[in-house]
Amino acid sequence: MIVDNTKINDVTSIAIKAFRLNKDASRVVLMNIQKNFSLLQARGVMNVKVMDFCGTHEWAITYYGIRSLMPKGVELIAGPGCPVCITPATFVEEAIKLALDGIRVYVFGDAYKLPSTSLKKPRSLFEAAAMGANVKVVYGFLDAVKDAKEYGKEALFLGIGFETTAPSYAIPFKHGIVPKNLKFLSALRLTPPIMRHALDINMKKYPTHKFGVIAPGHVSTVIGASAWEFLPREYKIPTVVAGFEPLDLLIAIEKILEMMVNERPGIFNEYARSVTWEGNIYAKKAIEEVFEVVDAAWRGIGVVPKSGLVLSEKFKEWDAVREYGIKEDIQRAITDPPGCRCGEVSLGLIPPTQCPMFMKVCTPERPYGPCMVSEEGTCRIWALYGGYAEL
């Protein structure tokens, strides 16, 4: 088949013009943001917090300087949108131990430098690999499946992710292509329960503030916009499922403020080019078939009810916890390294700049805490793109 690049380029350039370079549209949306916030101020609402729940949203907000465009009183805060940041420290420690024992451990590149709580080396799989441990970085679970089949010896996959990544694990299990020698350590976490948790804490801390939510675009592609129905219904919080271009985010903020002005909290699906109301039914079914929902530890945060996925009974022979007798040490699982305030950063309670380690002890080159590791980690994003410059 011949691919017509001219057309692709045309389409791409139209999309870029519409979403990135469209200054006129951006100006109109910004004026609406200002106007709506003025209307709220006239009614005595002086502070609005808009929380994003996706590392890529936080990246776009910071990279494009969207915070600096907000009227004073509209604060954009980052929620727990990075699965690497909240992966229990004990999972890193177990993976390091097994890799040093010669078991091949597969890990995604953005978790390769994820530090454990211990300050003794090796703190990460990266450091363990430098000491001769058997670690392999992969782009996806299927790469590990293929490699483990050829390898034929004991191997383990450190399964980090939210609902976006869960289908990429579930479908190979469902289709029976995961070799028996590849065990799976599930650090999979679910976003709606942690959203409740983060909002409960923030709303208690700031009872006079109004809250809005930018719901995660990638996650919603899988679980659907309907997954956030509880936010306007139970919490009366305006919610927008948004895309990742700067204009997507500006529109999301505009719509949130508009719903506040109209006193009609609801769900607006700004990302309809990717997200449907129901989500991806096939992917959701595969997740349900392969995993079961359990209470789970979130690093720096605590145990959140019904917020994790583990392999269901049918797939237990792949379960690394069972195979290697991994004991759950909850206190250790949820602990950040001494002095690291990643838990508070992940819950949107403080910006990274309030951590005394930020850009001193902890830098993107030498991450001390978990939020400085992944491209989706708030501390790393702020460190690289100056989220702090305007504060």
Residues that bind ligand SF4 (CB under 6 A): 340-342, 345, 352, 355, 357-358, 362, 368-369, 371-372, 379
266 CB-near residues (< 8 Å, 6+ apart):
232, 238, 239, 259
- Residue 51 CA to residue 379 CA, distance in Å, equals 16
Read off the tokens for 52: 């994003």
Closest separation in Å from C-beta 361 to ligand SF4: 7
Closest separation in Å from C-beta 356 to ligand SF4: 8
Under a CB-based contact definition with an 8 Å cutoff, are residues 82 and 216 in contact?
no
The dihedral sign for the CA sequence 64, 68, 71, 76: positive
Neighbours of 160 (CB within 10 A): 24
Cα–Cα nearest to 92, from 64, 112, 67, 72:
112
Residue type, 116: S
Residue with tokens 């990544």: 165
Give the burial string for 79-110 (b: 16+ CB within 10 Å, else e): bbbbbbbbbbbbbbbbbbbbbbeebbbbbbeb
Complex with ligand SF4: residue 80 or 243, whichever CB lies closer: 80
Complex with ligand SF4: residue 112 or 157, whichever CB lies closer: 112
Complex with ligand SF4: residue 157 or 368, whichever CB lies closer: 368
Complex with ligand SF4: residue 141 or 358, whichever CB lies closer: 358
Closest separation in Å from C-beta 121 to ligand SF4: 17
Closest separation in Å from C-beta 345 to ligand SF4: 5
Complex with ligand SF4: residue 164 or 335, whichever CB lies closer: 335
Closest separation in Å from C-beta 201 to ligand SF4: 17
Closest separation in Å from C-beta 122 to ligand SF4: 18
| Residue number closest to ligand SF4, CB atom | 369
Q: Write down the H helix ranges in the chain.
A: 5-19, 23-42, 55-63, 89-100, 125-130, 141-151, 166-174, 191-205, 217-223, 230, 246-262, 281-290, 320-323, 330-333, 342-346, 378-385
Complex with ligand SF4: residue 179 or 364, whichever CB lies closer: 364
Residue type, 300: G
DSSP letters, 7-26, are HHHHHHHHHHHHHTS-HHHH
Closest separation in Å from C-beta 118 to ligand SF4: 15
Complex with ligand SF4: residue 32 or 363, whichever CB lies closer: 363
Read off the tokens for 330: 């909850």
Closest separation in Å from C-beta 374 to ligand SF4: 10
261 CB-near residues (< 8 Å, 6+ apart):
36, 39, 40
